[in-house]
Structure 1
Amino acid sequence: MSQDRRNDYDVTNTVQVSNPAAVRDAVHELFSRTFPGSPFDKLWLAFYDFERLFTGRYPGYMGCDTTYHDLQHTLDMTLALARLVAGYEKSVEPPDRLGAARAQMAIITSLFHDAGYIRHKDRDKDFTNGAEFTLYHVSRSADFLRRYLPELGLAGDVGVSSMIVHFTGYELDLDDIELDDPRDIICGHLIGTADLIAQMADRCYLEKCRDRLYPEFVVGGVAVENSASGEYMVRYKSGKDLLRKTPAFYQQVMRERLNSKFTRAYRYIEVLYGGENPYIEAIRVNMAHLVHILETGNWSLLRRKPSFFLGITTAVHDIERLVTRQVAALKGARPSGDTPPLVMPI
C-alpha cells in the first residue's frame, strides 16, 4: 500500500472513490472481466441515479447531508464489493457462482445501501439532517430499493435486495434473514463485508470517526440515548471518547461480524492481489495508529483534513447546529448510571 495514498482514493491508491465515473469505470472493468459479454447498461444507469440522488438532482430528494456517510463512503464500498464479487467468482465451483444478474443486483444494492439517509422533500420535510434517521436508515434504504428497482426494470430483485441491504446494519438480527437461494445470503455477506472493510480502511477513518461520525451519532440518538423519564445514557461523550472505545469495538464486534457472521468473506479480495489483502492491511495500520495515539495521548497525530462530498452545501453547519441543540436539550436531565453496549451503526 502506497505511503502517499491520497485521502479520497481507494486502498490501492489507483481509483478516486470520490468520483462516480472513476468508480463506475473500475467496476465496469471488473464486471466485464468476471462476466464476459454481460450487459452493463443497468449498472451504468444505477451509477447515474446514485450520483443524482447524493448530489440533490434526483427528483423528490434533497441530496446527501451526512458528513460521514457521504458519497465517497458509498463509492468506496461499492468498489470493494465489486472486487469481492470478482474474487468470489474465481474461488468457487461453477454451481456456486453468483452469475452476472445476481452480481448486478448486489452492486446496485451497495450503491443505494445508504439511500435511507437522504431526505425526501415532502415525506421528510420535518427533519433537518439525514443523520436523524441513523437508527432506522437501513429500513429506509430497503424502502428506496423497493421503489427504485422496478423503475430500472428489476422488479424481480426487490425481495432479495431489500433484505440483503440489512447486512450493512443492525436493525435486523442477521441470523433471522432467510432467503431461498444460499447465493443470495453470500451476496449479503459480501455487501456487509464491503461496508465494513472499505470504511475502516479509509485513509482518514480515524479523523472521520472523531469529527464526522460522532456528530451523526449525537443527532441520531446513538451517542446519548434516552433512558427513563428525565434520564439519559451516555454511550460516547465526545469524538475522542468514540475513538477510545473503537479498539474494543473492533475486537468485540467487528471480528465477530467479519469472521463469523460474514464467514470471512474478506478473503476473496486476496484472489485479486496475489494472496495479499490491502483492505485488512489498511485496517491494521489504522488500528495500530489509533492504539499509539491512545497510549501516548498525542491527539495531534490526527491531522488529516479530508474533503466533504455532499449534496447540500450547508450540511456541515446544519449538523453542528443540531448537535448543539441536542446537547442543550439534555440540561436538567441526569445520567442513568447504566452502561449501554457499544454500537457503531454503519
Structure 2
Amino acid sequence: MNNGSHLITVDQLEAILTTSFLRMFPDTTIHLVPEIFDHVQAMFEGRHPDYQASDTPYHNLQHTMQVLLCYNGIMEGWHMSGTEPRLTPRQYELGACAVLFHDTGYLKLRADTQGTGAKYTFTHVLRSCSFASSYLPRHGITLTELDSILAMIRCTAFTQGSHHFRFQEPIDGIVGCAVATADYLGQIAAPDYPESLPLLFAELKESDDYANIPAAQRRFKTLEELVTDTPVFWRKYVQPRLEKELLGVYRFLAHPYPDGPNPYVDAVNANIGRIEKNLKA
C-alpha cells in the first residue's frame, strides 16, 4: 500500500488506481475515473478552454492526487475487509469524482485576472460544487448520482460531516467520509507538509485580504501562529473529527487490516513531530 510518503506522478497514480480497482472488482473495468481525471488534469494545467492553469501555491493538482491516493486506500481497505455496507464499482468511481472536483473551486476562469485562486478559499467548496454540477452530467452522471457527489464534496468543508447530508444509500455516506478523511490525511501525511505551511499561510492571507477581514479578526495573523497551531489543530480538531463525524474510516488504511500499521497516521505523526522539533529549535 502506498502511504503518500513521496510525491506522486499522474502515471504512477493511474497505475495504482487501476491495479487497486482490479483487486476490488476483478470483473469490472475502471472507466469513469480515467476520463474525469484527464479533464480535471487539463483544468489544473491550463489546457481547458474555460480555466486558467492552477496558480494556488498549496491547493494544486499534486494535492488532489495525494487525496485521491488516500481515498483509494480507504476504499480498498473497506471493500477487501468485507465490511458492510458493500461498496459497488460505481460508488467507488463517484467518490473518486468527488475527490477530483473537491478543489476545482480554487481555479480561475479565463477572464479572472486578479490575484490567485487562493482568494476563493472561503467559497471554494461552493465553487467546486458548481463546477461539478455543470460538468459531470455531460459525462454520464445522473442527477441522483450528482446529488451524492455534491454531498461528498461538501463533506470536505471544515464544519461538515456525512450526517449533515441526505445520501441515497448508506454506502454513499461512508464514501463521503472517506473523501473528507482523505482530504485531511492526504495533505498532512505528505512528505513536504511541514515545508508547505508557508504556502498554506500565503493562501489564507490572500483569502483574508480578498474578504476584507480585519487583521484583529483573522484566524492566523502570522506564519508563526499557523505553524505553532498546527500540532494543536491535528490533535484537538482533526483527530476527533476523523473519529466522530467521519466515522473512523481512516482505520481502513491499516495494512494489513485491522491490526497492521497505519502508514498515513504514522506519516502525520512524523510530520507533527518534525514541526514540534523545529518549534523547539
- TM (norm. structure 2) is 0.92
1:182 corresponds to which of 138, 159, 170: 170
2:103 corresponds to which of 114, 117, 132: 114
> What does 1:189-228 align with in structure 2 at a 5 Å threshold?
189-209=177-197, 211-221=198-208, 226=213
Counterpart check, 1:262 vs 2:249: no
Partner in structure 1 of residue 68 of structure 2? 78
Partner deviation per Cα, 1:77-131 (whole Å, 9 max, x = no partner): 10111111110002234x5112100001001111111000011124xx2642100
Once residues 222 and 275 of structure 1 are traced to their aligned partners in structure 2, the CA distance between those partners, rounded to angstroms, is 45
Structure 1 range deviating more: 281-290 or 164-173: 164-173
Name the structure with the higher helix share.
Answer: 2
Q: CA deviation at 1:173?
A: 6.4
Partner deviation per Cα, 1:168-193 (whole Å, 9 max, x = no partner): 12365654222232111101110011
Partner deviation per Cα, 1:28-75 (whole Å, 9 max, x = no partner): 110111111212222111121121011000121112111111111110
Once residues 189 and 286 of structure 1 are traced to their aligned partners in structure 2, the CA distance between those partners, rounded to angstroms, is 23
Partner in structure 2 of residue 23 of structure 1? 13
* % same residue: 27
Once residues 136 and 179 of structure 2 are traced to their aligned partners in structure 1, the CA distance between those partners, rounded to angstroms, is 17
Q: CA deviation at 1:155?
A: 2.6
Counterpart check, 1:135 vs 2:119: no
Q: CA deviation at 1:272?
A: 4.6
Letter in 2 for 1:48: D
> What does 1:278-289 align with in structure 2 at a 5 Å threshold?
278-289=263-274
Q: Secondary structure at the match of 2:208?
A: coil
Alpha-carbon spacing, 1:36–1:174, altered in 2? closer, same or farther (3 Å): closer
Q: CA deviation at 1:222?
A: 8.2
Once residues 48 and 93 of structure 2 are traced to their aligned partners in structure 1, the CA distance between those partners, rounded to angstroms, is 21
Alpha-carbon spacing, 1:225–1:283, altered in 2? closer, same or farther (3 Å): farther
Alpha-carbon spacing, 1:180–1:39, altered in 2? closer, same or farther (3 Å): same
Partner in structure 2 of residue 11 of structure 1? 4
Larger Rg belongs to: 1
Once residues 272 and 209 of structure 2 are traced to their aligned partners in structure 1, the CA distance between those partners, rounded to angstroms, is 22
Once residues 222 and 195 of structure 1 are traced to their aligned partners in structure 2, the CA distance between those partners, rounded to angstroms, is 25
Q: Is the 8 A contact 1:225 1:235 kept in 2?
A: no
Counterpart check, 1:160 vs 2:148: yes
Alpha-carbon spacing, 1:256–1:121, altered in 2? closer, same or farther (3 Å): same
Q: Secondary structure at the match of 2:254?
A: helix
Q: Which runs of 5+ in 1 are unaligned?
A: 2-8, 297-346
Letter in 1 for 2:93: Q
Q: Secondary structure at the match of 1:74?
A: helix
Q: CA deviation at 1:11?
A: 2.9
Once residues 161 and 263 of structure 1 are traced to their aligned partners in structure 2, the CA distance between those partners, rounded to angstroms, is 18
> What does 1:319-330 align with in structure 2 at a 5 Å threshold?
none
Alpha-carbon spacing, 1:264–1:171, altered in 2? closer, same or farther (3 Å): closer
Aligned length: 279
Q: CA deviation at 1:12?
A: 4.9
Root-mean-square deviation (Å): 2.3
Q: Is the 8 A contact 1:118 1:130 kept in 2?
A: yes
Q: Secondary structure at the match of 2:46?
A: coil
